[in-house]
Amino acid sequence: MSRNKGTGSFSRKKRCLSPLQNSTSHLCRISVLGSGKVREKDPCYQQAVKLGTALAQEGFSVYHGGYRGVMEAVAKGCRLAGGYNVGVTMTKKGTGRFLGTGSFSQKKRCLSPFKKSACPLNAEIRMSSWKSRLFKLIEVGEAYVFLDGATGTLAELFVVLEMTNRGLLKKPIIILGRKLGLFLRTLKKDPHFDLPRTLHFATSTSKAIKLLKRSGLQRKA
């Protein structure tokens, strides 16, 4: 895996984007990360649907992990508003099945839990491992929005925070999840724990959109 120093750009082999890249190059790319365990009745799921709709309405393209929970919900919201969303998933070889719940099996196929008729993706990027999938989500996003999640979401968040603290990323990080926000505010009280200046807390979807716009992200000419 190669790294473009100072830009936070990681790449293996560029895949899957070229067929649609030209038609969507005017859209700012927002990576949305959160729990793979929440279901439709969960407030976090509903919040993700609302976020996906709002991002699409504001002219952002949405990138997510391509499986269930928040990923499925934000994709649904984006599609409802006629937006463009991309799922970053994993290949069959090397990972088996991953449903966003931490479940890996070498004996089972890698099947996306998305039903195409209910929640179609505009495009899919398949990576060879959990690690390469994470860094692809980091690479493609021009900003990150985090909703509530478990250890997987925390791992993703802390990689982004550490890369930002080391100067490898200079991208907006929006914390929309209420529990996640409380957790980070608690850590912030520790003088030895550095939170980057690009980290922002949003109490609502509309606030998250305002923070993204305030960061200078907008539809490209």
Q: What is the pLDDT of residues 125-180, one digit of tens each?
A: 999 999 999 999 999 999 999 999 999 999 999 999 999 999 999 999 999 999 99
Closest CA to 188 of 206, 166, 161: 161
Neighbours of 113 (CB within 10 A): 17
In a domain, 218, yes or no: no
pLDDT tens readout for residues 8-46:
433 333 344 443 454 566 789 999 999 999 999 999 999
- Write down the pLDDT at residue 26: 73
Q: What is the pLDDT of residue 106?
A: 39
Report the pLDDT value the prediction gives residue 206, as an integer from 0 to 100: 97
Give the domain range for residue 209.
30-213
Examine residue 171 and state whether it is found in any structural domain, yes or no: yes
Dist CA 149 CA 48 (whole Å): 12
Do the domain assignments include residue 220? no
- Is residue 19 domain-resident? no
CATH code at 205? 3.40.50.450
**Residue 27 pLDDT:** 84
Confidence (pLDDT) at 3? 42
| Residue 220 confidence class, pLDDT cut points 50, 70, 90 | low
- Weakest-pLDDT range from 86-90, 113-117, 207-211: 113-117
Number of domains in the chain: 1
> Does 20 fall in a domain?
no
In a domain, 47, yes or no: yes
Instruction: Please provide the average confidence, as pLDDT, over all residues in the chain.
Output: 82
pLDDT digits (tens, 9 = 90+) for 89-134: 988 653 444 444 444 343 344 344 433 334 568 999 999 999 999 9
pTM, whole model, 2 decimals?
0.80
192 vs 98, higher pLDDT: 192
Predicted pLDDT of residue 191: 87
3-state secondary structure the chain: CEEECCCCEEECCCCCCHHHHHHHCCCEEEEEECCCCCCCCCHHHHHHHHHHHHHHHCCEEEEECCCCCHHHHHHHHHHHCCCCEEEEEECCCCCECCCCCCCCECCCCCCCCCCCCCCCCCEEEEECCHHHHHHHHHHHCCEEEECCCCHHHHHHHHHHHHHHHCCCCCCCEEECCHHHHHHHHHHHCCCCCCCCCCEEECCCHHHHHHHHHHCCCCCCC
